[in-house]
Structure 1
Amino acid sequence: MQQFDLTGRVAVVTGANTGIGQGIALALAQAGADIAAVGRSEASETAAKVKAMGRRCELVSADLSSIAPVGDVIESVVDRLGRLDILVNNAGIIRRDDALDFSEADWDAVMDTNLKTLFFLSQAAARHMVGWSSQDGQRGKIINIASMLTFQGGIRVPSYTASKSGVGGLTKLMANEWAPRGINVNAIAPGYIATNNTAALQTDETRNRQIVERIPEGRWGRPEDIGGAAVFLASRAADYVQGQVLAVDGGWLAR
């Protein structure tokens, strides 16, 4: 189990206030990591739970709809927690409309948050990770949150589908370039996870039944299901895993 021990590591998790981001932050903390919760909404509940485990948790306020705060975010984390070992790019948004009617504003908003900021935050983090890796031999870890729409097309979400397809491609590119520099880059593609964002689907009796019937596991996923995958990818156990998009979907894609 020592391969999964994250004691002494510092993890940045964007969008850690609820749902998948919170589940990942808590799982990393349980494995021993200190947490920097980054986002527009204050992750006070997440911070309280992390601190109850005996780990440090710093709240970093940043609007990730643009790359403007990227440099300050990384500098703040290093200043307050001493280093940066793990980055989880979880923050993201979605806009829905028919492809025939989809607006440029909705296209740009989603692409800027889900893809552009993800890349430049990863770039800024990697520059620090390269230095730490060369000093103590620990590999840096970048984990992107992809989607079922990294593999599928979906409907009425053109910019979201494009952004999450892009996340899959960027994950591979960054792994290709940064693996020799001591950094692992991988992604997790969640299936249907029971969070606040999917509450409407869960309460729609017909749609909920259709979803569960399609999932071989026979249930919705939970945030902690994604957290377990994140701990693996953040740990030494995944040092030889590069450029992968790990579907955590209860078998949805296999159906």
Structure 2
Amino acid sequence: MDAILQGQVAVITGASGGLGEHFAKVLAEQGAAVALAARRLEKVEAIAGELAGQGHRAMALRLDVADAASIAPAFDEIEAALGPISILINNAGVGGAGMALDMTVEHFDETFAVNVRGPYFAAQAAAKLMLASGVADRGEGRIVNIASVAAQTNLPGLSAYCASKASVVMMTRVMAREWARRGISVNALGPGYILTDINAEWFETEGGAAQLKRFPRRRLMQNSDLDAALLMLAGPAASAITGQLFIIDDGQTLPGGG
């Protein structure tokens, strides 16, 4: 079977580990040239080197999406190295944990700077390049914003995080509407609980173990559980899909669940 993303160029933010690293590898395996962007340059350099050693086109660059002014120049650098950007996976994010009564302005602002403002201006920068390069005219522009089940579920102790992910979903819908006739599909992927650096400590506690037992299948998801939805939204299948949130959660948010 032919690789469905052959000839495409994908940018993955927050690609230094976890879901971002996994997404980059999945897209590369389907033929895309991948740019791995993250704050930890040494991490993305190692992953890009691994992919290059397997015969894939890959590059690494340092990018902190909280620094909105740095996003567009970074994307210009990617285009110069790999060619016209056609796929953006807006994956960079932080946990934003804290009870509402204890939340500081600084912590709230940090959460929104990374989880909302960063993806917003990354999507803007990618869309401008897609329009300028002709990618959009060919109907090949794909923006996938990584949201969360937290966008639709109230999670005590995560008020800022939930609010930020709900913002990502509405941002997705409005951008999709604005660019509906411009050849750019904008969708959001809402994963359930997967073991990550953000939540690993929590699931080692009694509270985390109790939450896990309340999930209908009493397990955490695997990164690979998102592969089919990711490839659908990043590839040709999304030509008729835009403005949608796809919740992939292993049934975790079913009534009576966690």
- Displacement after TM superposition at 1:204 (Å): 3.3
Q: State the partner residue of 2:249.
A: 249
SS of residue in 1 equivalent to 2:19: helix
CA contact (8 A) 1:95 1:157 kept: yes
Q: Could you tell which deviates more after superposition, 134-143 or 245-254?
A: 134-143
Q: Match for 1:27: what amino acid?
A: V
Determine the C-alpha separation between the residues in 2 that align with 1:68 and 1:156: 31
The answer as to whether partners of 1:9 and 1:34 remain within 8 angstroms in 2 is yes
| CA 27–117 in structure 1, closer or farther in 2 if over 3 Å, else same | same
Is residue 21–residue 47 contact of structure 2 (8 Å, CA) maintained in 1?
yes
After TM superposition, the score normalised by the length of structure 2 is 0.91
The one-letter code sitting in structure 2 at the alignment partner of 1:33 is A
- What is the count of residue pairs matched by the alignment? 253
1:32 aligns with 2:26: no
Give the TM-score of the pair, scaled to structure 1. 0.92
User: How far off its partner does 1:158 sit?
Assistant: 2.3
2:98 is paired with a residue whose SS is coil
Which structure's relative contact order is higher, taking Cα pairs within 8 Å and 6+ residues apart? 1
1:46 and 2:47 aligned: yes
- Taking only aligned residues, the RMSD between alpha carbons, in angstroms, comes to 1.9
Q: After superposing the two structures, state which structure 1 stretch, 128-137 or 158-167, moved more.
A: 128-137
Q: Is the 8 A contact 1:39 1:63 kept in 2?
A: yes
- Specify the alignment match of 1:21 in structure 2: 20
Residues in 2 aligned to 1:10 and 1:165: alpha-carbon distance in whole angstroms? 28
- Structure 2 unaligned segments of length 5 or more: list them: none
Superposition misfits of 4+ residues, deviation over 6 angstroms: none
Other-structure match for 2:101: 100
Deviation at 1:206, TM superposition (A): 5.8
Which AA in structure 2 matches 1:81? L
How far apart, CA to CA, are the structure 1 residues paired with 2:90 and 2:184? 15
> What is the aligned partner in structure 2 of residue 11 from structure 1?
10
What is the CA–CA distance in structure 2 between the aligned matches of 1:51 and 1:209, rounded to whole Å?
42
Partners of 1:207 and 1:251 in 2: CA distance: 17
Deviates more, 1:9-18 or 1:225-234: 225-234
* 1:235 maps to 2:243: no
Identity of aligned residues (%): 34
